[in-house]
Amino acid sequence: MSHSAEEVQKHVRTYIAVFAALAVLTIVTVYISYLHLPTPKAIAVALFVASVKGTLVAAFFMHLISEKKVITSILLLTAFFLVVLLIIPSIR
Protein backbone atom coordinates (compact mmCIF):
# COMPACT_ATOMS: atom_id res chain seq x y z
CA MET A 1 0.00 0.00 0.00
CA SER A 2 1.39 3.39 -0.93
CA HIS A 3 1.42 6.29 1.52
CA SER A 4 1.38 9.40 -0.69
CA ALA A 5 0.04 12.40 1.21
CA GLU A 6 -2.81 12.90 -1.27
CA GLU A 7 -3.89 9.28 -1.00
CA VAL A 8 -3.80 9.38 2.80
CA GLN A 9 -5.97 12.51 2.66
CA LYS A 10 -8.53 10.48 0.72
CA HIS A 11 -8.29 7.71 3.36
CA VAL A 12 -8.99 10.24 6.11
CA ARG A 13 -12.33 11.16 4.52
CA THR A 14 -13.22 7.44 4.44
CA TYR A 15 -12.27 7.03 8.12
CA ILE A 16 -14.62 9.84 9.14
CA ALA A 17 -17.47 8.40 7.06
CA VAL A 18 -16.90 4.96 8.65
CA PHE A 19 -16.89 6.53 12.12
CA ALA A 20 -20.24 8.22 11.44
CA ALA A 21 -21.69 4.91 10.17
CA LEU A 22 -20.45 3.06 13.27
CA ALA A 23 -21.98 5.65 15.61
CA VAL A 24 -25.34 5.55 13.79
CA LEU A 25 -25.39 1.72 13.74
CA THR A 26 -24.65 1.61 17.50
CA ILE A 27 -27.69 3.82 18.17
CA VAL A 28 -29.79 1.72 15.76
CA THR A 29 -28.90 -1.57 17.46
CA VAL A 30 -29.63 -0.15 20.97
CA TYR A 31 -32.94 1.32 19.72
CA ILE A 32 -33.99 -2.03 18.20
CA SER A 33 -33.23 -3.79 21.50
CA TYR A 34 -35.84 -1.58 23.22
CA LEU A 35 -38.53 -2.77 20.75
CA HIS A 36 -38.42 -6.23 22.42
CA LEU A 37 -38.71 -8.29 19.26
CA PRO A 38 -39.20 -12.07 19.64
CA THR A 39 -35.80 -13.56 20.61
CA PRO A 40 -34.88 -15.33 17.32
CA LYS A 41 -35.66 -12.17 15.33
CA ALA A 42 -33.78 -9.97 17.83
CA ILE A 43 -30.69 -12.22 17.62
CA ALA A 44 -30.75 -12.14 13.81
CA VAL A 45 -31.08 -8.34 13.64
CA ALA A 46 -28.45 -7.65 16.33
CA LEU A 47 -25.91 -10.02 14.77
CA PHE A 48 -26.58 -8.55 11.32
CA VAL A 49 -25.92 -4.98 12.56
CA ALA A 50 -22.80 -6.15 14.46
CA SER A 51 -21.51 -7.92 11.33
CA VAL A 52 -21.96 -4.76 9.26
CA LYS A 53 -20.06 -2.74 11.90
CA GLY A 54 -17.35 -5.40 12.13
CA THR A 55 -16.96 -5.50 8.35
CA LEU A 56 -16.57 -1.70 8.25
CA VAL A 57 -13.82 -1.79 10.91
CA ALA A 58 -11.97 -4.69 9.25
CA ALA A 59 -12.28 -3.37 5.70
CA PHE A 60 -11.37 0.29 6.27
CA PHE A 61 -9.61 0.79 9.63
CA MET A 62 -7.63 -2.46 9.24
CA HIS A 63 -7.22 -1.86 5.46
CA LEU A 64 -8.33 -5.40 4.60
CA ILE A 65 -10.07 -4.06 1.49
CA SER A 66 -6.67 -3.46 -0.13
CA GLU A 67 -4.58 -6.03 1.77
CA LYS A 68 -2.25 -8.61 0.18
CA LYS A 69 -3.46 -12.12 -0.57
CA VAL A 70 -1.26 -13.78 2.06
CA ILE A 71 -3.12 -11.89 4.83
CA THR A 72 -6.61 -12.48 3.45
CA SER A 73 -5.94 -16.21 2.97
CA ILE A 74 -4.73 -16.56 6.59
CA LEU A 75 -7.96 -14.86 7.68
CA LEU A 76 -10.17 -17.02 5.46
CA LEU A 77 -8.62 -20.12 7.04
CA THR A 78 -9.18 -18.61 10.51
CA ALA A 79 -12.78 -17.71 9.61
CA PHE A 80 -13.42 -21.35 8.60
CA PHE A 81 -12.19 -22.68 11.94
CA LEU A 82 -14.08 -19.96 13.81
CA VAL A 83 -17.30 -21.14 12.15
CA VAL A 84 -16.47 -24.74 13.13
CA LEU A 85 -15.92 -23.58 16.72
CA LEU A 86 -19.28 -21.77 16.79
CA ILE A 87 -21.16 -24.76 15.32
CA ILE A 88 -19.78 -27.27 17.85
CA PRO A 89 -22.27 -26.29 20.63
CA SER A 90 -25.23 -27.13 18.35
CA ILE A 91 -24.07 -30.71 17.76
CA ARG A 92 -26.32 -32.90 19.85
Maximum separation of any 2 CA atoms in the chain, in Å: 56
Q: Which of 66, 32, 58, 68 is nearest to 47 (CA)?
A: 32
Q: Is position 74 an interface residue for other proteins (rule: CB under 8 A)?
A: yes
The contact mask relative to other proteins for 10-29 (x = CB under 8 A, - = no) is: -xx--xx-xx--xx--xx-x
Residue type, 60: F
Q: Are 79 and 52 in contact (CB under 8 A)?
A: no
Residues engaged in binding other proteins (CB under 8 A): 3, 5, 8-9, 11-12, 15-16, 18-19, 22-23, 26-27, 29-30, 33, 39, 42-43, 46-47, 49-50, 53-54, 57-58, 61-62, 67-71, 74-75, 77-79, 81-82, 85-86, 88-90
